[in-house]
Amino acid sequence: MAQQQSTPAAGFRVQQAWSTPIYFATWDRDGQEAPGIIEHLYELKSRESESIASGVAPGAKPLPSIFESKFDLFTSQLESTEL
């Protein structure tokens, strides 16, 4: 897949300080499992007491679009899905 490049608007410049590779994969059960996974994520979110769990730079993180949590998806139990 070719890397997408964008041209900055007038008056802006782009400086890449580090590279972040982004990997994509398809999962054949995505359509079947997605509703349960999304429900599980919202349930985990409802257990959190704060929107910014780290307490770092809450003024720079626009609410409600940013949500930082303490939950760990690698240890989370989702009964309906075997990943």
pLDDT for residue 59 is more than 80 = no
Could you tell me if residue 43 is inside a domain?
A: yes
Could you tell me if residue 57 is inside a domain?
A: yes
- Count of domains for the chain: 1
Please state the pTM of the whole predicted model: 0.53
Is residue 18 classed exposed, middle or buried when 0-12, 13-18 and 19+ CB atoms within 10 A define those classes? exposed
CB 57 within 8 A of CB 13: no
Q: Could you list the residue range(s) of the whole structural domain that residue 39 is in?
A: 23-76
Please give the mean pLDDT across all residues of the chain.
Answer: 75
Could you tell me if residue 3 is inside a domain?
A: no
Could you tell me if residue 49 is inside a domain?
A: yes
Residue 35 — very low, low, confident or very high, per pLDDT cuts 50/70/90? very high
Could you tell me if residue 6 is inside a domain?
A: no
% of the chain beyond a pLDDT of 90: 2
